[in-house]
Amino acid sequence: MAVVSVPLTLPPTGLAPAVASPACLNLLDLDLKGCEQLVMELGHKPFHGRNLFKWVHKHGVTDFGAMTDLSLKLRYQLQAVAEIRPLHLVEDWPSADGTRKWVLELADGQRVETVYIPVLIPQERRHTLCVSSQVGCALDCAFCATARQGFNRNLTPGEIVGQVWHASRWLGEAPSNIVMMGMGEPLANFDNLVKALAIMQDDLAYMVAKQRLTVSTSGIVPNIYRLAEVSDVSLAVSLHAPNDPLRDELVPINRKYPLEVLIPACRAYIGDNLRRRVTWEYVMLDGVNDSPTHAKQLIRLLEGTRSKVNLIPFNPFPGSDFRTSSLERIEAFRDRLIRSGIFTTTRKTRGDEIAAACGQLVGRVRDRARRAPIATLWPPPAVDLAQ
């Protein structure tokens, strides 16, 4: 990491006010090792990097002048080469059920949406934060509003973590659960995602337990194997269909990574840990994937895999051709799965009146990019799918 040489003549009144500059290093992008490396290259002991990391994430401080356990010399150096650049809140949409949707603007003017969902249990203070990983999405799932806007770019680690930083400041504490289920496909932004996950789990930052941190994917199989090598967070898969022909239509990435390779990858991810299972997200579309035959196919598909199925009533959005399955049809589908021994729940729709429910996030992206064909998005890496 190249660091600019900084003159050490301090202003007589201490630190001058920091001036945000896109050219400065954003400390939200750095994990603990990155902060330690930065302060060492500035000529200081690595433990100062731990203190810096803690100020940024655990305390949510943006003013170097307030970091009182760092020397004035180090704070002045940091001010010259770095900054803490939070995402800019441009819209805050509260829902009657306590859900909030935040529209957050990035440095380049792009916008992403983040959803805060409180747990409605008396005497319990728990909450889930739904975090975005990309501006838009290239996967083009048929029932998802984000897909309609196309794909613009990946979020940096700091832009992913910045959503957690914002929520923690608003809540006064870190979210108890974080799900990577917002805009974008997390595993298509693999390196930035993994770095952000490490920051979220760090004891000096947000201390999110691995079982309370979930990555959702539509099924980029090679990166499921890669994730298993570097992380042990919970895995959710946007399944939505129990057979390849239907899933090819609803989730086009299935044409590249069909069920015959997706299911073994998910089994390999949970491995021999009897306490782990895959959560399968299954949006209920009236007359499309909600019949008794579909339920039987899903039971056969998941046989031998430790699973939880999360049935999601479809959340309509403008321009969609789908309808939500009836309550009776959802309950019948759920009951068939439960009788077969599959743990199954029906997700309660939250925040739909503010377009914050599953599949409704759009972010109002500027300068929409053309979608790349699915076949060109992920060149097959050298991964042995049989392992």
Of 119, 118, 115, nearest in space to 101 by CA: 115
The pLDDT tens digits for 336-350 are 999 999 999 998 765
The pLDDT tens digits for 72-81 are 999 999 999 9
pLDDT over 60 (residue 267): yes
The pLDDT tens digits for 201-210 are 999 999 999 9
pLDDT band at residue 123 using 50, 70 and 90 as cut-offs:
low
pLDDT over 50 (residue 149): yes
358 is catalytic: yes
Lowest mean pLDDT of 93-102, 253-262, 324-333, name the range: 93-102
Catalytic residue among 130, 137, 266, 358: 358
Q: What structural domains and CATH numbers belong to the chain?
A: 25-83 (1.10.150.530), 88-372 (3.20.20.70)
Asked if 366 and 109 count as a contact pair (C-beta separation under 8 A), the reply is yes
Q: Which residue has the tokens 């993994």?
A: 194
113 is catalytic: yes
Predicted TM-score (pTM) of the model is 0.85
3-state SS string for the chain: CCCCCCCCCCCCCCCCCCCCCCCCEEHHHCCHHHHHHHHHHCCCCCHHHHHHHHHHHCCCCCCHHHCCCCCHHHHHHHHHHEECCCCEEEEEEECCCCCEEEEEECCCCCEEEEEEEECCCCCCCCEEEECCCEEECCCCCCCCHHHHCCEEEECCHHHHHHHHHHHHHHHCCCCCEEEECCCCCHHHHHHHHHHHHHHHHCCCCCCCCHHHEEEEECCCHHHHHHHHHHCCCEEEEECCCCCHHHHHHHCHHHHCCCHHHHHHHHHHHHCCCCCCCEEEEEEEECCCCCCHHHHHHHHHHCCCCCEEEEEEECCCCCCCCCCECCHHHHHHHHHHHHHCCCEEEECCCCCHHHCCCCCCCCCCCCCCCCCCCHHHHCCCCCCCCCC
Residue 379: what pLDDT?
33
Catalytic residue among 113, 159, 185, 281: 113
pLDDT over 70 (residue 283): yes
pLDDT over 80 (residue 107): yes
